């Protein structure tokens, strides 16, 4: 099986001081095919992955060409457009539905198209591991 592991990010929180966040390095391709990396918070509670609109521009997507959906979360309602895009987590290659809103947001890896193809392990607030099924 193919694995990918990423260390938790240590960040300062206004409410809790130093906290550990599960963050994965996601490799995408630019509009001309050049690979580039982004960081995304691994959120097992998020239904779908959601990336910033600036990422859509880099990979050459017209956001509004996607399937328009309304998402509800802690921040209220967000309108976003869903596209299927190829990405890599280490050596794991997947095609994943990703929602792109028109507002800048933190990049998030959600469950759809990932957890049905990878086991996900959070280890001691030190690393997050994906294991391709």
Beta carbons of 90 and 130 less than 8 angstroms apart = yes
The SS3 of residue 60 is coil
Quick: pLDDT tens for 112-125.
999 999 999 999 99
| Separation between Cα atoms, residue 78 and residue 59, nearest integer Å | 22
Residue 26 pairs with which residues in a beta bridge?
38
The pLDDT of residue 83 is above 70: yes
What average pLDDT does the segment 11-36 reach? Answer: 94
Domain tally for the chain?
1
What Å distances lie between residue 71 and 46, 47, 80, 104, 114, CA to CA? 10, 10, 7, 15, 19
What Å distances lie between residue 60 and 2, 22, 31, 54, 56, CA to CA? 29, 27, 5, 10, 6
Which CATH number goes with the domain that contains 44? 2.40.70.10
Domain that holds residue 50: 3-132
Q: Which two tokens stand for residue 9?
A: 């990010």
Output the pTM of the full model.
0.91
The pLDDT of residue 32 is above 80: yes
């Amino acid at each position: 099986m193919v694995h990918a592991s990423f260390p938790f990010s240590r960040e300062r929180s206004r409410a809790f001081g130093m906290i550990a966040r599960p963050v994965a390095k996601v490799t995408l391709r630019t509009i001309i095919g050049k690979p580039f990396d982004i960081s995304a918070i691994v959120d097992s509670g998020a239904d779908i992955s959601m990336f910033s609109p600036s990422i859509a521009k880099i990979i050459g997507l017209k956001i509004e060409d996607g399937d328009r959906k309304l998402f509800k979360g802690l921040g209220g309602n967000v309108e976003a457009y869903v596209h299927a895009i190829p990405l890599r987590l280490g050596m794991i290659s997947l095609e994943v539905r990703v929602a792109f809103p028109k507002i800048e947001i933190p990049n998030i890896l959600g469950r759809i198209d990932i957890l049905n193809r990878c086991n996900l392990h959070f280890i001691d607030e030190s690393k997050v591991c994906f294991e391709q099924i």
